[in-house]
Structure 1
Amino acid sequence: MTAWKHLSVKKSNSNFENMYFHSLSPTSSVENGECYFNALNWALNNRKTKNIRNIAITGPYGSGKSSILCSFQEKNVNNDLYFLNISLATFKEDKQDNGKTKNENLLRLIELSILQQLFYKEKDKNLPDSRLKKIQSFTWKKLLFIAIGCLLYFVAIVNCVKARFFIDIFRLNVSDSTETIIYYLSLVISIIGIITFVFKSIRIANNLKISKLNINNAEIEISPKINKSVLNHNLEEILYFFEVTKYNVVIIEDLDRFQETEIFTKLREINLLINNSEKINKDIVFIYAIRDDMFIDKDRTKFFDFLIPVIPVINTSNSNEILQNEIKSIADKISENLIDDISLFIDEMRLLYNILNEFQIYKQLLSRDLSQEKLLAMIVYKNICPNDFVKLSNYEGILYETINKKNEYIRNKIDEINREISKCKDRIGRLESLKIKELDELKSLYVFQYIGQLNGFNAFIINDEAYSYKDVLADEFFAYFINDSLSYKFQNRHSYCYSTQVLLKFKDIEKQVDSQFSYEDRKQQIEDWNKGKINELKSNIEKLEQKKNEVRHEKIQNLIMSKDIQIEANN
């Protein structure tokens, strides 16, 4: 991760013009497009006889719906079809406001966007009677023309009212016939000016909106805050738009991003009103590009008159083949295994093309020492999880936490191995410092410790048989010491011999002989020494050191697969 953040940009003289990029825009080249085109042609050609007014092209995100519509418009040969494209490429944000979503505001914004795209498509001169006015730009030629026109109108009016006004001012010598021609020309210009003024005044008056009427201090006011749909509120404008323009096919895309089915109801209602209007002498068809899961159950058949399903060109099952073919021309060090792995996350063509585009740019700009496979993997992650990729630079996010877990795992594992090594070294140290290296010699220590505390000791009694201290060193007899089931024979001051139970406990004798290690511990040490345990422990240390090195270089992939670390994705 640190290497990615501090990658050096190389100074390269590579020819960037030879790089082959892919456009993410809808393309006119569509696989199996004729089938979709035939369906669209049939629906549009029969829109009147079959009453087809609302057509839906359905398919998953990235299946090529926009490309089909784009290609259909380019290849259309029907001169009776005029297309108007509306795109709502905006992403919905589900923000909460006092526990309620802003559905109403969202719908109004959607409707407003649709209305804006309708009217900003056409020039003002094509919609002269529309109340929805846009800023007009005047060229100097147009301003000069208007100024000259106004001046001529003013001169013509003055000349009609007082025929010789300008002749007398400028002391012009004109004949009677010329004066008559000037008079009638002024009259014609005045009439044209008055007609133009009246025509413009009627249009301006028609476009005025009255929101308040005041008669003798009695007011009637229409509140601008009435909860009304934007489309319904501007229905007359929409009808006027389709009345004066030639558009009869409206293509609406990206409307499904908002997950609001109510807008489809309003658009269907608008479409019905347009087609039922006596003012509009053409059939208007709305074509929607939506996802399959936009409607629940069978609801979508109620909204649309004709549906065309789109089969995705690319999905997770075949994206590896497409990626393999595309990657060959731009990289030669990408394994098929990596392509098979990353293709599981690529399910649409635009995503695949953008990965290829970014890979080429990064590959050209970054150092050649960087692994192409690692670079491609990072580019795929950048495109699939862009938010987490940005957080990576700020030491945050899921990937950063996962890498941190690897470091934490390595630290814990190395600490565990170091503890094992320390134990081995301690055992070696104890074995090398052993003074007693024979088991009988060890047993003698404990036997003499007994004898030293038994007054008048003569012999040990085991199963009514007397044994000397050398005899009890055998394992079968020494077990009686360990089990505290031992008797001994002693001689009093009168030289009489008696036998009695040994009251001393072996645990107490162990502590007196060695307060740190028990008899079994010391016995094990002697056995280890005799078996050459030191060499075995040294061999174990070497193996543990090698294991430490392997842990340091362990791949995060293996740790995830073995579940030594787990990825905790935030929902």
Structure 2
Amino acid sequence: MTGAEPSAQVSASDVPAVPPSPNGPVPESAPLTPRTPAPELTSLAPEYREEWHGTYFAILKRAIDDQPDIRNIALSGAYGLGKTSVLNKLAEEFKGRVIKLSLLTLGTEPESARQGASQVPAADTKTNRIQKELVKQLLYQVNPSSAPKSRFHRIRKGRWKAELIPAAIAGVIGAAAALMLDLSGVTSIGLVASTDIPWLHPVVGALAAGVAVAGAVVIARMVLHGRIVIDKITAGPATLALPPRSSTYFDEYLDEIIYFFEVKKKVEIVIIEDLDRFDDPGIFESLRSLNSTLNSAAQLDKRNFRFIYAVKDSIFEKLGRDESASDTDEAQAELVRANRTKFFELVIPVVPFITHKNARDLLNGLLADHRLEIPKELIDIAARHIADMRLLHNVVNEYKVFKHQLLDVPNPVPGLLPQNLFAMVLYKNTLMSDFEKIRLGRSHLDILYSRWRTLAKENTERLRAANRELHEGIEFQSSARDRAERLASQFYSILDTLQTAPGSFISVGALTSISEELRSPETWRNLIEDGEPVVIQGIDRNGNRKQMSLNAAAMGRLLDTELDTREWVARSVPADEERIAANNETLEFLRYHTWEGLCRRPELKSPPPKGSPMSFIEWVRLLMASDLAADLVIHGYITSYYPLHVSTFYGEMIRPAAMSYIIHNIDHGQPDTDYQLNSEDVEAILRDQGRSILTERSMYNISIVDHLLTTDPVDAETVLTNLASAGPEELEFIDAYLAAGQNAVSFVERITPQWLDIFNHLVANPPGDVKKQAEFIEAAIRRRRDRTSYEISDPVRRFIEANYLQLAALTDPNRGRAAGSVIDFFQEASARISSVRGLSSAALEHLRETRAYVITAENLEALSGSSNISLNQLHSALPNDAYQYVFTQPRAYLDAVETSRGTDHAIDTPDLLVDIFHRCQRWPVDAIKRLVANSSGDCVVSDLGNVPEPVWEALVAEQRVSITFGNVFAYFEAKGSIDQPLSSLLSGRNAIAAASEADQEDRAKLAVAIINSGAASGHAQHRIDLALSVSPGELPSSEISPEPGELVGRLIAAGLLADDESAFDSRLLLDWPSYEFAIRSSTNYLDLIGAETLPGKFIEKLMSSDSVRDDVKESALEILDELDGITRAGFQSIGDWALRTKATLSAPKIDAIRAGGAYKTTVFELLSQAGGLIDLEDLRAILRKLGEPFSTIADPGRKRPIFPADYAPQKILQRLKDAGIVSGFRPKGPHHISVSLKQD
């Protein structure tokens, strides 16, 4: 907390009860306290001291007495060296011969363009204005009566004696006129007594007229005295005007100047001071010229006029300067400036007797002379910047007055030390204009004050923010592993759900691998910082590999959380803790620092509107108008209480710190959050301003709120009500108070009922470490209003879930009621406690009534009081709502069961089986399966109708259901087929019980379904046995699904399929083995064989099969011409079978075999085997179709064909020989027969 400079403590007994009033008399009830005598001040008038000034006076006196040619003398030196003292001594020495001229001002700067301005441009030059002032001063140093010939009529005081002569003359003239006009009639009005003397009457009348005229003249002159002047020629009230014919005032009024010295017959020394104030060297040329004129004027009796000038040395720098000269003339100009004898015949330098080197000793001596004690360091600082004797005297004088008024009083300014007051007097004497602005709050010190508060505020906020970030980093580092575990589990759960979705290609192996990787904080750090995505691999239904890539943004959306880089940055906790400690030290300094102390902390900076940040000492150097002022601040002599150090303090009720806050903040309606006030200060402010001030923003001060929360909660509520409006300024103060306030917990408790967004703000703007943050959250929880909906965001939920053990109400065994309130808040925030380990028994008692915890083995065991967390046990141990809560977290509960060492099964006994399955019917299918799988072996459902349909699949899959017709048919009806779970169930059973009472149609429907369920339900005979167990009767072949193998044959054999043409439908018999077994199983196939029951494509397999009877094959030959699709191999197979069985085929059959593509030798052998059963012409026709060599023997000719002996052609050759076609045949070698045809 940034603070004001410490103030002195003043007890109530040290001050009177009633303060003096600066604007009126002291109240009668106030005791009058005697004051110390008024201080005696040192005159600032010039004082001649022989040891300092004697030399210069002697030189001047010698020049006047012994050196008549020296007429222009310069006494040169800086201000304050005693030049006036020397000249005053000179005037005293030559009294009557000296006239002094001093120009302190030239009046208002003339406006060159104003209406009616002088027509002479030179009139407004600085030189002419100086000449004008000199002329005016000369005019007023002579008595008007002594200069009767002066053309200037100056106002002077009327004198009766001077008016009598004009009045007497006027009276005589009036009397004479009366005599001439015979005013004897005056006697008729009783002016004279009756008399008989005739001439008396005219005489008396003339006298009366003369007296009247004289009186009138006297009265008129007295009334009009000085009121009639000559326009434009005045001195003082008269005006001197420069006519166009003259270029300077000296030229125009030279006669007046000479007349002046004619009147002043003894004056011959003119002392001119302060000309150098106007930096106009040209005036010296004019005065030198005037001096020459006066010395050469005959009417001045050849007096030797001396002009003595008091000037500063620097004025000579401008002598001879020509502003229009080029730089190349600078050297010449330097020579001109150096030649001061051009203007003065004698230059007397005044050696400085005070410099910044010895001013310290002089000031120290002055203070010692007046018995004033000021620290030597402050004297040194003042001496370095003040080297003027008169100013030093004035500083001491003013300090004595200020000290008398502010320190030497019954009620001095608390905390004001002599050095502070002396520093402000120094400031006043060197920066008078700025000092005057202090009372208006517009001085450079006020600007510095504002920058000070800004710097303190900005650095305080910066350090608090840095500490918040460091605390967050430490917390993130310590909780990174837990956070990674939680997010990994959440992610695994989501992917687990996706895995069961239709079309998913995610594999369980991939999930396990991903989950393990995500349990490492390093994985999350790489994901967020380096952009390394999480990659999930899997295989789709077509066997193709696929990848799913999730970046940080996608993971955040999927997990519904903000992945903040700060939460995963690897940090050094010890280093962060050291930085926090260092920051806290600086914050403590900022709370109780002084300007002097802050100047020693250059690392604390504040940026200006433009430019780089600046430290406080840099601000001091920049803003203070002088180096002295800056040094006084830097060394601690001018403090932040400076407004109280420059005026009378009426501080019985208002202390300095309080008054400073009123001046700078309350009066301007601006708060200063960290300005340090103590309780007495706050009370003083409230007494002075009234309680109504509590509604103002200026009350947003940490010290004020601290005091109110401690002493007057009602008044505190007024301020907190304003803060609860939560505007930008209010939120800024709330954050500052929570970080630095002494009653921060009470603050939170009292503002919570009025501020519905407090929880969000406390989490979003942590005031410090997690422990403090949790303390504020708990305080807000305790004091939240009933039946009021507070704003609770996900960050609030996540915070209390991560830091619930920091909430004392949950761990303190003596705070049972508070624990209930906190747990209720958890429910409102939809937050859950991850582990109940460490919670008090009272907290556990409240928690078991809620759902505000994560379902884990540890938590359920603790809340149920048993190591067995089966649903049967939880049903008896937990309240109904808590028991039902378990069913809302299926996977979490099943995970808990699997990790609980004391739990063998999720369901121990079947007594609650139906109820449990009704409660879990909304679970995911995989979770229901896990539940059923985790139930004890005797948990079997005898009637599926008693449990919800969603659990049937799991029960069937885990074979926890009785194999009855009702169960099997109900499941079949629900699924619409015999699915894999039911197939698995049926594959292990030989019969389905309790089917006799079922409807025949349902039995047939189930039987067909079982038969059609395929190998998953067992081999064909097993399925047929199951079908037979439900007595379905004969099944329509149209409902049987085609299946290669023995199914159809066994169905025919079992009587489930009619032994008719429908059983041999090509739709059912997909391959030859199916046909072969069906033919073998049929007793009616000989009657059924035909084009519809024997596809031609199977002739080859039929004729070569050893299991098919020959009568069937013979029947097949009978319908050979009806069959389609017989292949070449099929025809060859028929021929081979006929040759093998010695069957005699007709010519059409043999020709059909030939046409079907059988081998020629096979056809020839069949013809030979048929012998005479085939007509000769048919034989010859077939031979012709066989091609050579067989076609050559069908007709006579000259060829001699040769046949292989193994063809056994003898029978056919003999028959052809008998028919006269072949003439003979004989063996030719061991393997051939040579045939001779009969020639035509």
Structures share a fold, TM > 0.5? Answer: yes
Q: Do structure 1's residue 53 and structure 2's residue 71 form an aligned pair?
A: yes
CA contact (8 A) 1:248 1:284 kept: yes
Deviations for 1:140-170, whole angstroms, at most 9, x for unmatched residues?
Answer: 45545775688789999999xxxxxxx9956
Query: What is the correspondence of 1:263-282 to structure 2 with a 5 Å cutoff?
Result: 263-281=283-301, 282=303
- On the 8 A contact 1:480/1:486 being kept in 2, the answer is no
Q: How does 1:379-390 map to 2 (within 5 A)?
A: 379-390=425-436
Mapped partners of 1:224, 1:486: distance in 2: 101
> What's 1:189 paired with?
none
SS at match of 1:85: strand
Q: Return the index of the structure with the highest Cα Rg.
A: 2
Counterparts of 2:295 and 2:255, CA distance in 1? 13
Change (3 A) 1:253 1:414: same
Matches for 1:182-261 after TM superposition, within 5 Å: 224-245=243-264, 246-261=266-281
Among 77, 90, 106, the alignment partner of 2:105 is 90
Q: Is the 8 A contact 1:456 1:491 kept in 2?
A: no
Report if the CA contact (8 A) 1:8-1:366 is conserved. Answer: no
Contact 1:456 1:492 in 2 (8 A): no
**Residue type at the aligned position of 2:507:** N
CA distance in 2, matches of 1:518, 1:546: 31
Paired residue for 1:71, among 66, 83, 89? 89
Query: What letter is aligned with 1:69?
Result: L
C-alpha offsets along residues 324-343 of structure 1, whole Å, 9 cap, x if unaligned?
12123446452111111122
The answer as to whether partners of 1:54 and 1:305 remain within 8 angstroms in 2 is yes
Cα offset, 1:241, TM superposition: 2.4
Cα distance in structure 1, aligned partners of 2:200 and 2:521:
151
Q: Is the 8 A contact 2:273 2:311 kept in 1?
A: yes
1:323 to 355, 363, 382: 363
Residues 457 and 229 (structure 1 numbering): CA distance in 2 closer, same or farther, change over 3 Å?
A: same
Report the Cα distance in structure 2 between the residues aligned to 1:295 and 1:532, rounded to whole angstroms. 67
Change (3 A) 1:514 1:97: farther
Alpha-carbon displacement from aligned partner over 1:238-272 (angstroms, at most 9, x marks no partner): 22222342011110001111122222111111110
Distance in 1 between the 2:403 and 2:387 partners? Answer: 23
- Decide whether aligned partners of structure 1 residues 239 and 13 sit closer, same or farther in structure 2, where only a CA change above 3 A counts: same
Q: Post-superposition shift, 1:307?
A: 0.4
Matches within 5 A, 1:124-139: 124-139=144-159
* TM superposition shift of 1:29: 2.0
Higher relative contact order (CA 8 A, sep 6+): 1
| Aligned position for 1:334 | 374
Residue deviations 1:352-371 (CA, integer Å, cap 9, x gap) = 11111111111111243332
Do the aligned partners of 1:331 and 1:372 also contact (CA within 8 Å) in 2?
A: no
Distance 1:72 1:501 in 2: 115
The share of aligned pairs that are identical, in percent, is 23
In the alignment, the residues of structure 1 paired with residue 142 and residue 406 of structure 2 have an alpha-carbon distance, to the nearest angstrom, of 47
Distance 1:384 1:272 in 2: 42
1:408 matched to which residue of 2? 454
C-alpha contact (below 8 Å) 1:487/1:501 kept by paired residues: no
Q: 1:459 to 1:262 in 2, by over 3 A?
A: closer
Query: Aligned equivalents of 2:531 and 2:157: distance in 1?
Result: 113
CA 1:523–1:397: 2 relative to 1, 3 Å = closer
Q: Distance in 2 between matches of 1:412 and 1:347?
A: 40
Q: Does 1:23 align with 2:43?
A: yes
Q: Using the TM superposition, give the Cα deviation of residue 286 of structure 1 relative to its aligned residue in structure 2, in angstroms.
A: 0.3
Q: For 2:344 and 2:200, how far apart are their aligned partners in 1? A: 75
- Give the secondary-structure state (helix, strand or coil) at the position aligned to 1:111: helix
Match of 1:306 in 2: 346
1-side partners of 2:166 and 2:391: how far apart? 54
CA distance in 2, matches of 1:488, 1:334: 82
Report the Cα offset of residue 70 of structure 1.
1.3
Give the letter for the 2:103 counterpart. Answer: L
Decide which moves more: 334-343 or 322-331: 322-331
Contact 1:86 1:253 survives alignment (8 Å): yes
Structure whose residues are more often strand by fraction = 1
Note closer, same or farther for the CA distance 1:241–1:106 as it changes in structure 2 (3 Å cut).
same
- Structure 1 residue 285 corresponds to structure 2 residue 300: no
Deviation (angstroms), 1:437: 4.6
Aligned to 1:197: none
Tell me the distance in 1 between the aligned counterparts of 2:313 and 2:173: 63
- Is 1:546 matched up with 2:564? no
CA distance in 1, matches of 2:565, 2:442: 56
Change (3 A) 1:265 1:459: closer
Distance 1:553 1:360 in 2: 26
Structure 2 residue matching 1:295: 3-state secondary structure: helix
CA distance in 2, matches of 1:340, 1:410: 30
Specify whether residues 16 and 169 from structure 1 end up closer, same or farther in structure 2 by C-alpha distance, changes over 3 A only. farther
Worse-matched range after superposition: 450-459 or 539-548: 450-459
What is the match of residue 507 of structure 2? 455
Q: In the alignment, is the contact (CA less than 8 A) between 2:76 and 2:349 conserved in 1?
A: yes
Are 1:397 and 2:443 counterparts? yes
Q: Secondary structure at the match of 1:22?
A: coil
Could you list the per-position Cα deviations for residues 281-331 of structure 1 after superposition, in whole angstroms to 9, with x for gaps in the alignment?
310000011111112232533111110111222222222221112123446
TM-score by length of 2: 0.34
TM-aligned CA deviation for residue 416 of structure 1: 1.7
| Distance of 1:330 and 1:524 partners within structure 2 | 69
CA drift of 1:386 comes to: 1.1
Confirm or deny that 1:117 pairs with 2:137: yes
**Cα distance in 2, alignment partners of residues 513 and 387 from structure 1:** 68
Aligned to 1:351: 391
Cα distance in 2 for partners of 1:140, 1:561 equals: 73
SS of equivalent to 1:391: helix
In 1, Cα distance between equivalents of 2:344 and 2:533? 99
Q: Which residue of 1 aligns with 2:879?
A: none
Aligned-partner Cα distance in 2 for 1:435–1:478: 9
Q: Secondary structure at the match of 1:260?
A: coil
CA distance in 1 between counterparts of 2:553 and 2:430 reads 70
Determine if contact 2:360/2:383 at 8 Å carries over to the other structure: yes
* Structure 1 pair 544–255 and aligned structure 2 pair: CA distance change class (3 A): closer
Q: 1:541: how far off? A: 7.3
**CA deviation after TM superposition for structure 1 residue 393, in Å:** 2.1
1:350-369 equivalences in 2 (<5 Å): 350-367=390-407, 368-369=412-413
User: Residue 62 of structure 2: which of 42, 45, 49 is its match?
Assistant: 42
Structure 1: how far apart are the matches of 2:385 and 2:83?
A: 21
Which blocks of at least 5 consecutive residues in structure 1 are unaligned? 160-166, 172-207, 212-221, 461-466
CA distance in 2 between counterparts of 1:262 and 1:341 reads 39
> How far off its partner does 1:67 sit?
1.4
Distance 1:110 1:477 in 2: 89
When the two structures are superposed, what TM-score results if normalisation uses the length of structure 1? 0.69
Cα RMSD (Å): 5.2
Q: Provide structure 2 residue ranges, at least 5 long, that are not aligned to the other structure.
A: 8-18, 27-31, 115-120, 180-196, 202-228, 233-240, 318-336, 500-505, 603-614, 627-1240
Alpha-carbon distance in 2 for matches of 1:444, 1:537: 33
Report the alpha carbon displacement of residue 549 of structure 1 after superposing the two structures with TM.
0.9
Q: How far apart, CA to CA, are the structure 2 residues paired with 1:280 and 1:137?
A: 30
CA distance in 2, matches of 1:436, 1:43: 101
2:535·2:547 contact (CA, 8 Å) conserved in 1?
yes
Note the 1:138-157 alignment, pairs <5 A: 138-143=158-163
CA distance 1:244–1:443, change in 2 (3 Å): closer
Q: What's 2:1093 paired with?
A: none
* Paired residue type of 1:233: E
